Every structure is written in structure tokens, then in C-alpha cells.
A = this chain, B = another copy of it.
């Protein structure tokens, strides 16, 4: 019975020519969901840009990166910013539509905000030794979980193929 409940995480669909409308971009380290909490903790924490070309410098080497438009939740990330790639969106606890089975998603999270503080917030958690999962704050609290791996700040859906779909706005679930 979660339909209609307020969800506090923006879900945006990337547009074709993803960064085409962005005046600035963000480059973030990526983990695959299957890399579990280990991957999440290993991804570089401190990344900054240097000089006039905006060269991205990380505190350590990392092999997987994504370029996103500097949407507000992304631009506001500090050292804890990280992206987890999921092969489909069934990991999201509010799924109601069939697209969740068919689309890959990126979950942008803040590792510096581990506390499960908001009922309607969403959090990355390790799935009992399995892949990473996204859980609602209320569900975690019910089971006594007070600390997560990070707060979800944004969910990114892939660009649609059809050009006539490109005018649709962000959908905030």
C-alpha cells in the first residue's frame, strides 16, 4: 500500500545527448551493485576539479566513472558522492510500473550521510551478503537498522530511444 505515498528522491530521465543541456557536468566514481559494500567503500571519496579545464582529480585511482549533468542533488554532493549502477530498477522499493524490470538505473548516493533519519528517505544497504539494495527509511527503522551505507539523493533513468519522448520533463515520483 505504498502507492500515493510521498517519495523524497528525485528520479530523472537522462536525455539523449545527456550532457547537451548541462552548462556544467559532474564526474562521479561508479560501483556495480554486485560489488557490494566493499566496492562502495573502496570508491574514491575525495574528488575535486583542477584548473580551467576542470580536470577531475581523485584521491586514488578508480576504473569506472560516469559523467552526469550537474543536477542540483549531484552538484551538492561532497566527498561521499558515489554512483551505483543497477542492471534494472527492481531494486527500488516503490516500483509500480513495468519499466522497472526493463531499465538500468544509476543510484546516486552520499556515503557521508549514513544515518537512517527520514522515514520517506531512501538508503543504500548491503543485502545480507548479496548485492546492494535500496530501502525506504521506514522499512529500515522497523527492523532496527539505524545506519545505512549512504543516503540516496537521485535516481537516474537512461535516455529513451524515441526522439518524441525527449520533451518529457523530469518525473518526480
* Chain A contacts to B: CB under 8 angstroms: 14, 16-25, 27, 30, 44, 51-67, 85, 104, 106, 156, 158-159
Measured CB to CB, the nearest residue on chain B to A65 is B56
| A155 shortest CB reach to chain B, Å | 12
Partner of A57, one of B23, B27, B64, B104: B64
Instruction: Work out how many copies of this chain go into the complex.
Output: 2
A64 interface neighbour in B25, B30, B55, Cβ under 8 Å? B55
A5 CB to nearest B CB, Å:
28
Measured CB to CB, the closest approach of chain B to A145, in angstroms, equals 29
From residue A11, how far is it (CB to closest CB) to chain B in Å? Answer: 14
A selection of 29 A-B contacts at a CB cut-off of 8 Å is A14-B52, A17-B23, A17-B24, A18-B53, A19-B19, A19-B25, A20-B20, A25-B67, A27-B65, A30-B55, A44-B63, A51-B104, A52-B159, A53-B66, A53-B104, A53-B106, A53-B158, A54-B66, A55-B64, A55-B65, A56-B64, A56-B66, A57-B63, A58-B65, A59-B63, A60-B61, A61-B61, A65-B65, A67-B67
Residue of B nearest to A159 (CB): B52
Q: How far is the CB of A47 from chain B (nearest CB, A)?
A: 9
Alpha-carbon distance between A44 and B57 when the two chains are bound, in angstroms:
15
